[in-house]
Structure 1
Amino acid sequence: MNTIRIFRLVAATVTIAFLSTLYLFHTGRVDLSLAPPTIILLLSFSLAFYVGLYHDFARENPIRRTVAIGVVSVILVASLIWIAVSVLFGGIAAVFEIRNGRVILPPEEFLPDWWLLILLVPAGISLVSGAVLDTERPSYSAPSGLHELAESPIYFALTCTIIGLWSVLFVGLNMVQRIVIIAPIFEELLKFGVALTIGAAIFGRSIYSRIAIALVIGCIFGLVEHSSTYAGEPDILYLYRVLFHSVLTMISVAVYTTFEERNLNDLLWIAPIYPIVLHYLNNAFAVLSGVVLATTPEGTQLVVSIVFGGLVLLLGVALLSIAITRHSLAAVLHREPYLFLRGVL
């Protein structure tokens, strides 16, 4: 078995451990305080994986390559231990309920504990398949200047991650300004950056593996946002929150990968533009409807939110489908915003 196949199997194992950890976060069997170190660990693995297998920084220096492979190996061992201890025991118990020695599904209810598996299982299958079957070794160029930054997915993704994370954590505006201005731009940059960093570093240029990673990152963002800020919201809004963040992240990554494959380098940096617009519309509507419908019954407010959210998701899915299947149309849709922003900036 060659080196690339071994690394793919390692990536598959870490992928399973990460998805299992996400599910345990969702069920409450693992405290959400462990989410940040989990993300940091995964990003560390992704960068070490990329450096050890693809980047000239390590390929031209045996010592650097050994260090990178050592980091990957340590994380692999930790992942195997986590799978054995937390998944085979706690994970199975979280998905199934044991009564009188019989394993049965939890009682039927809206959003049972295992509902997130509906999203995670397809993502996991796609990721594992991409990790094992895709043997392409991508060569990502290092940007020689700021104008070439978007042409290197790793550098561009890390830049978006840093800018998005700093803005989300430290930009001090009031709540309405954060919801309407900060969140649409910088939350989308953060999700896009993290998803593309992991997807490009581990899974190369495989569009479906990258989209699967984007789905997982979107689920994480929706889960954390619900647990930390909107824990008391109805299940239907919780479901919408997770789907909303997942679809928007998938659009950004799909658009970037499509343009990358077609060498549309001038459009790469504008990949997150439509998710940012949809996020802005969603948040602006939430604020305005909260004011306009303040005196109406809660049931009416919920119905209005559901209808608008459904329209946003339908539009998002349409954009995602176009990015994957109608490459020329996707380029046309992004050309005008690109020309407008280039003229403004």
Structure 2
Amino acid sequence: MGTSQAEQQAMLRALGLAASPDAPLGPNPRVGCVLLAPDGSTLAEGHHRGAGSPHAEADALARAGAAARGTTAVVTLEPCNHTGRTGPCAEALVSAGVRRVVFAQVDPNPVASGGAQTLRQAGVEVESGLLAEPARAINRVWTFAVEHQRPFVTWKFATTLDGRSAAEDGTSRWISSRPARLDTHRLRALCDTMLIGTATVAVDDPELTVRDEHDQPLEHQPLRAVMGLRHVPPDRRVFNDRAETLRLLTRDPAEALATLFDRDRQHVFLEGGPTLAAAFLTAGLVDEVVAYVAPLLLGAGRASVADLGISTIADARRFDVTDVTVLGEGTETNVRLTMSPAEKS
């Protein structure tokens, strides 16, 4: 049947609602919904605001009330078909008398999928795939975690021009500039877990919190995860009360990610040292790299990543650069490179 211009415009609006500042960054997807009256005008809008709150469809239906009968629901994600903290959206749409549903992304979650079939069986017209790729982009991390059954991993590190993360005496403050550090806190706030190794805790004693431009902790803090078997003194700052901390008693990256996934964690921000980075890279468990390159030379010192077992340039790990951003100016300049692992040819 295809979609109308009004439905296409409504989907653009629904995508904007899904990306609202108060939309969730936790275990639930970001979803927007627009209800169109029979004449194509907007009757009501809604979006999901986090676990336990009404889903986007329920939010829009509540705003529309009895007027929802005979409308078209334009939704960024296939209406869910399961009962969690809230009821199934597919059934809510049928009960409200919605005539037609247009959605963008098919729900990859086997627990919640099947909403389209439920709607069709109830006699509701269903159209799928409208602006599916932008919808997937909004829920990039959530979609990855559901499809791969593990968290998405971003490895972040700061390096000199010659690939050093610390000087020969172990000092590393500050390789990254203040603008780069502020940018790091912005990225930290977008994840739900920050992961480091026990060696980093012992040597650097990081607090590993997300802070604002005044160096004050934000109200919402990601989980701090410390991975490894080495004993860590309990007085380390990562164990303070400013955020929750989880000890992962393993050196196996896959086991660590499985534990985090079982705790509904979907985006790991890997900030450990070169040994931890090498372990994740060797295991093929780095999905994105964010490197802050500073205009410094050390000539010696700790490498940004430990031995990867590469002895020839033909075996080098290669990455596709997806973004290049210059932060700061003068000696305070850092270049942020965002990369994804290149497909093997």
Same fold (TM > 0.5): no
Structure with the higher strand share, 1 or 2: 2
Pick the structure with greater CA Rg.
2
TM bin, normalised by shorter chain, reads under 0.3
TM-score (norm 2): 0.23
TM-score (norm 1): 0.23
Structure with the higher helix share, 1 or 2: 1
